[in-house]
C-alpha cells in the first residue's frame, strides 16, 4: 500500500485550552474527506504524537466543512502558563502531525 505524508492531502491548525491541544484537520481536496475520516483515527493521532499527548484524544467529525477535530488532553506539559516546553502553546503540533504517513487516497 502506497503511503504519503499527511501534508500531501491535508491542512491543519492547532489551538490550545489549558492543558488541552486542539488539532483541526481538513483535506486539501474535499473529495478526500471520507478517506481522511476512515484513516486518520483518534488512535493514529494519539500514537503519532505520543511524545506530547499523555491524555486522551477525542475526534469530532464536522462533515459540513469537511473538518476533523482532535481534542487532545494532557498535551501541553500542564498548560501554557506553567509549561517548560519551548512552544508552550503547542502551536507547532499541527505541523508535526502533517508528518504522519497515511495511506494514499485511491
Partner 1 sequence: MTSAVNTVRIGSGAGFAGDRIDSAVDLVRGGALDDLVLECLAERTIALAHSRRRVDPSRGYDLYAEERFRALLPEAIPRGVRILSNLGAANPLAAGRLAVQVAEDIGLACRVAVVTGDDVLALIDQEAPALEDGKPLSSHGQIVSANAYLGADSLLPGLRADADVVITGRVADPSLFVAPLIDRFGWDPADESMMAAATLAGHLLECGTQVSGGYFADPGYKSVPRLEAVGLPFADIARDGTMIIGKLDGTGGLIDRRTVREQLLYELGDPGAYTTPDVILDVYSVALGEVGPDRVHVSGAAGRRRPDELKVSVGYRAGFRGEAEISYAGLGCVDRARLAGEIVAERIRRSGIDPRIDLIGTLDAPNSMSHGECRLRVAAKTASSDHAQHITREVEALYLNGPAGGGGVRTTVTDVIGILSTFIDRNDVTPQTEILETS
Name which position in 22, 57, 100, 102 contacts partner 1 (CB under 8 A). Answer: 22
- DSSP assignment of 6-44 equals GGGTEEEEEEEETTEEEEEEEESSGGGHHHHHHHS-HHH
Name which position in 32, 39, 42, 79 contacts partner 1 (CB under 8 A). Answer: 79
Least distance between partner 1 and beta carbon 56 (Å): 12
d(CA 77, CA 83): 5
Summarize as ranges the residues that interact with partner 1 (CB under 8 A).
7, 11, 13, 15-20, 22, 24, 26, 28, 60, 62, 64-67, 69, 71, 79-82, 84-86, 95
Amino acid at each position: 500500500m502506497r503511503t504519503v505524508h499527511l501534508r500531501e492531502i491535508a491542512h491543519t491548525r492547532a489551538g490550545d485550552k489549558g492543558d488541552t491541544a486542539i488539532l483541526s484537520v481538513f483535506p486539501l481536496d474535499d473529495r478526500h474527506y471520507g478517506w481522511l475520516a476512515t484513516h486518520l483515527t483518534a488512535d493514529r493521532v494519539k500514537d503519532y504524537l505520543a511524545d506530547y499527548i499523555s491524555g486522551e484524544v477525542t475526534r469530532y467529525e464536522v462533515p459540513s466543512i469537511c473538518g476533523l477535530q482532535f481534542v487532545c488532553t494532557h498535551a501541553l506539559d500542564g498548560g501554557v502558563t506553567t509549561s517548560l516546553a519551548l512552544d508552550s502553546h503547542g502551536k507547532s503540533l499541527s505541523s508535526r502531525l502533517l508528518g504522519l504517513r497515511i495511506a494514499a487516497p485511491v
